Amino acid sequence: MAPAGRASGAAAHRAETADGAGVQAPVKAAAPLRLTVLGATGSVGTSTLDLVGRHPGRFEVVALTANGNAERLAELAIAHRAKLAVIGEDTHYGTLRERLAGTGIRAAAGAAAIEAAAREPADCIMAAIVGAAGLRPTFAAAEQGTRVALANKECLVSAGEIFLTHLGRSGAELMPVDSEHSGAFQAIGRTAARSIEKIVLTASGGPFRTWDKERLARVSPEEALRHPNWSMGAKITIDSATLMNKGLELIEAFHLFPVAAHQLEAVVHPQSVVHCLVMLEDGSVMAQLSHPDMRTPIALALAWPERLATPVPRLDLVTLQSLTFEAPDHSRFPALKMAGETLKRGGTAPAVLNAANEVAVTAFLERRIGFLDIASTVAACLEKAEGKGLIGYADTLDGVIAADGEARRLTRTLLPG
């Protein structure tokens, strides 16, 4: 069969091509799947653990990590009988140790300890830390040569080729968690790469799909955090409202699937039921549909080539009645095109875009800039970075992290105050 992954060692389809014999017959796992969740207290992390809790005996939780919420981390570690719990911020170590006293669960703190947790032997590591902070732990997870269930899209956006090479070296298998990419993975199936004409990712359009620029300029963080269809962490919810999320996802898709940048498109689909459309040379369009709930793509990433039952509401097309699609409006939502341009620019441009966006989103949530300023700040950072020769080529993770740091510093100089 033709692998759908892009690079030599890539990626999404290694699960079914490992033996070169196509999709393997489902086999009931004899032993529980040893699972680590990086970013366990987040939206994807808790959805993952929700599934784990629904399938007793199927998973064995190795390590759980979080950044600052030690109470919640301890609760999850106890509930799922984890062997190790790691908190990123050292200041919360005392609380974590206190909550885990007498449980037999090991506690640790700090960024290096999170990386070490990612290296604890596991069959699958759910990489669900938000932002570029997830890069080093996700790279560490990939060293095991087992399965990386990738929610942290920033890893592919900022360090795509380097990450794929890294996976190739260890033989690790990459399963996409992002719903659109999970949809594309399924829709492509065993299709030969040369037969794929286009991959279309859908975007809900966010809460301001129909708002004019004047209203957009006055959007508050509370309004932007109210996503119409999906329940997600704060950063990705804001990215969904600006359409930056879809831009990051186009870059993610470029690295996951064997297509050129011009074969990737985004279409607005307000119902968020169709997650991806794969258009083929014979005129067929393969789509993946499901109720907008991350537990469906998470289940696939954990269980493939098996399936895992979820309580996600089943689709009733008669009740739904209509599924609508429209072109994105680039003048009101410029972030989407901007991200696509960084993909064409190449080198560290996507890493600079991502870092600038993380800083701008935080500034918006802190009410330091307006909603429309998010995209204009990122655009200004890209322009200045280009002018200063900061956009170049990086062939190591350290190089990417350095470019990310430069971009953050530059973006902060562009913010008011």
What does the binding site for Mg ion look like in residue numbers (CB under 5 A)? 178-180
Q: How far is the CB of 179 from Mg ion (least distance, A)?
A: 5
| Strand ranges inside 45-162, DSSP E | 59-66, 84-87, 106-109, 124-127, 147-150
One residue of 16, 115, 120, 154 binding ligand NAD per CB under 6 A: 154
**Nearest residue to 171 (alpha-carbon basis) of 137, 143, 202:** 143
Residue 241, C-beta contacts closer than 8 angstroms, at least 6 positions apart: 206, 207, 208, 219, 224, 227, 371
Distance, first Cα to last Cα, the chain: 57
Q: How many CA atoms lie within 13 A of 83 on its CB side?
A: 13
- In whole angstroms, the minimum distance from the beta carbon of 111 to ligand NAD comes to 7
Residue 357 interacting with ligand NAD (CB under 6 A): no
The beta-strand segments (E) located in 95-243 are 106-109, 124-127, 147-150, 173-176, 196-203
* Tokens coding 62: 């190795």
Cis peptide leading into residue 305 (ω within 30°):
yes
Note whether 39 binds ligand NAD by CB under 6 A. Answer: yes
Helix or strand (DSSP H, E) at 278:
strand 274-280
Which residue in 5, 176, 183, 233 binds ligand NAD (CB under 6 A)?
Answer: 233
232 binds ligand NAD (CB under 6 A): yes
**Of 40 and 355, CB closest to ligand NAD:** 40
Under rule CB under 6 A, residue 44 binds ligand NAD? yes
Could you say which of ligand NAD, Mg ion, none residue 128 binds, taking C-beta under 5 to 8 angstroms by partner kind? ligand NAD
The residue whose two tokens read 């900022």 is 158
**How far apart, in whole angstroms, are the C-alpha atoms of residue 119 and residue 142?**
8
Residue closer to Mg ion, measured from CB, 9 or 183: 183
Q: Does 310 help bind ligand NAD (rule: CB under 6 A)?
A: no
Burial of 40 (0-12, 13-18, 19+ CB in 10 A): buried
Residue 154 contact, options Mg ion, ligand NAD, none, Cβ 5-8 Å cut-off depending on partner type: ligand NAD
Q: How far is the CB of 246 from ligand NAD (least distance, A)?
A: 11
Q: Nearest approach, Cβ of 240 to Mg ion (angstroms)?
A: 8
Considering only residues 10, 129, 174, 361, which one is a binding residue for ligand NAD as defined by CB under 6 A?
Answer: 129
| Separation between Cα atoms, residue 409 and residue 394, nearest integer Å | 18
326, 182 contact by CB (below 8 A)? no
- Minimum CB separation of residue 252 from Mg ion in Å reads 8
Residue-wise burial string across 148-167, b where 16 or more C-beta atoms lie within 10 A, e elsewhere: bbbbbbbbbbbbbebbbebb
Q: Which is nearer to ligand NAD, 249 or 265 (CB)?
A: 249
Q: Which is nearer to ligand NAD, 36 or 41 (CB)?
A: 41
The binder of ligand NAD chosen from 11, 294, 349, 353 (CB under 6 A): 294
Residue 224 is a binding residue for ligand NAD (CB under 6 A): no
Contact with ligand NAD (CB under 6 A) among 10, 107, 128, 243: 128
Number of residues that bind ligand NAD (CB under 6 A): 27
Contact flags string 99-118 toward ligand NAD, x per CB under 6 A: ---------------x----
Of the residues 17, 36, 48, 67, which one makes contact with ligand NAD according to CB under 6 A:
67
> Shortest Cβ distance from residue 38 to ligand NAD (Å)?
7
Q: Which stretch binds ligand NAD (CB under 6 A): 165-173, 230-238, 334-342, 364-372?
A: 230-238
- Give the CA diameter of the chain: 62
Q: Which range, of 231-239, 255-263, 265-273, 396-404, touches ligand NAD by CB under 6 A?
A: 231-239
Q: Which stretch binds ligand NAD (CB under 6 A): 42-50, 98-106, 272-280, 395-403?
A: 42-50
Q: Is 192 helix (H, G, I), strand (E, B) or coil?
A: coil
Q: How far is the CB of 133 from ligand NAD (least distance, A)?
A: 3
Phi, psi values for residue 398, rounded to 5°: -60, -40
Q: Which element (helix H / strand E) includes 297?
A: helix 295-303
Residues within the interface to ligand NAD (CB under 6 A): 39-45, 66-67, 88, 114, 128-130, 133, 151-154, 178, 230, 232-236, 294
